[in-house]
Amino acid sequence: MKAAVYRGPGAFAVEDIEVPVPGPGELLARVDACGVCGTDVKKIEKGLLPGPRVFGHEIAATVVRTGAGTTRFREGDRVVLHHHIPCGSCFYCAQRIYAQCETYKRNGTTAGFEPAGGGMAEYVKALDWIVERGAIPIPDGVKPEEAAFVEPVNTCLKAVRAAGVAPGQTVLVVGQGPIGLILMQLARCAGASVIASDAMPDRLELSRQLGADHAFDVREHDVVREVRALTSGRGADRVLVAAMGQAPITQAIEAARPGGQIMVFAATSPGEIAEVDFGRLASAEKQLLTSYSASIDVQEEAARLVFSREVRVAELVSHVLPLDEAPRAVAMSQRPGPGVRKIVLRGAA
């Protein structure tokens, strides 16, 4: 089969590899769609992990074979496959900090080599614990490109809930790339009034179409001043940060009201550094929070939001490319320009 294989920094290409064979309790699925995630792009670009690996974890697929003892699914079933599932019994699971669970850190979907997601391939194998607790049936009428958003929507829903977004609040979402647009919609679903900021006019326009109450171009507006003007001078109750760098972090902290919370979502790899004036942060009792990866607690709700189209994800897709163009898809995702939002790889024909 074809797979986009990462072999180290600068070594990422489509190759022919063996189709994985499902063992007891496992399943083999044909990849119908796989979203290109910024976390995987960073791993490829920065060489954060040793190769060879096949990345890609935003997976919608169709079951083609099951291993002995696999009863939840059969050939022809369409499924979303999560790649991480916690054990449910360790110290971190008891605290509901699932991403720090050692079992969670084990990747449970693979196209070969060290398990690393495996969605950037024609076929992917789900290991037994993923089949039992991390595979979700896809309803009729939901396109693969939509279903592939269940995992990223899960990660965003986890962050929005951790930030305590609630009805009546004013929420600023910094950055309106695909993740920022999901965060914005989830904040709206939670009953908040949402302000968005970005530097790309097309993203801001889409943000307005998807429900943002206000959307400001950071090149033309003082976003902090605009937020305060809309909140009787206080600032935003919550700020969700979906863009990394000094300017977005500074904007987020300054735009939050005294006692407000800033959720930093975008930092996912070492070396993403920004300066913080802790004197100003602490004296105003602003809380700086972080969130990473998905939560099994919101797994079903995230799927429902995508499948019901309560969170609109189809509009976030700007490019659907064949697997052969995986290197191009990653390159486009590294430095997206106007018109580039979410890129989805099409699976086997």
The pTM of this model reads 0.96
* Sequence ranges of the chain with CATH classification 3.40.50.720: 164-290
What string of DSSP letters covers 286-343? -EEEE--S--GGGHHHHHHHHHTTSS--GGGEEEEEEGGGHHHHHHHHHS--TT--EE
CATH assignment of 2-153+295-346, among 3.90.870.10, 3.90.180.10, 1.10.8.100, 3.10.290.10: 3.90.180.10
| pLDDT score, position 18 | 98
* Sequence ranges of the chain with CATH classification 3.90.180.10: 2-153+295-346
Across the chain, where does the E strand assignment appear?
2-8, 11-16, 27-35, 58-66, 78-81, 109-110, 123-126, 135-137, 170-174, 193-198, 214-217, 236-241, 256-264, 287-290, 317-322, 342-346
| pLDDT score, position 136 | 98
Domain 164-290 sits in CATH 3.40.50.720: yes
| pLDDT score, position 348 | 61
pLDDT tens for the 349 residues of the chain, in order: 999 999 998 799 999 999 999 999 999 999 999 999 989 999 998 888 999 999 999 999 999 999 999 999 999 999 999 999 999 999 999 999 999 999 999 999 999 999 999 999 999 999 999 999 999 999 999 999 999 999 999 999 999 999 999 999 999 999 999 999 999 999 999 999 999 999 999 999 999 999 999 999 999 999 999 999 999 999 999 999 999 999 999 999 999 999 999 999 988 888 889 999 999 899 999 999 999 999 999 999 999 999 999 999 999 999 999 999 999 999 999 888 899 999 999 976 5
For the chain, helix (H) and strand (E) counts, in that order, are 13, 16
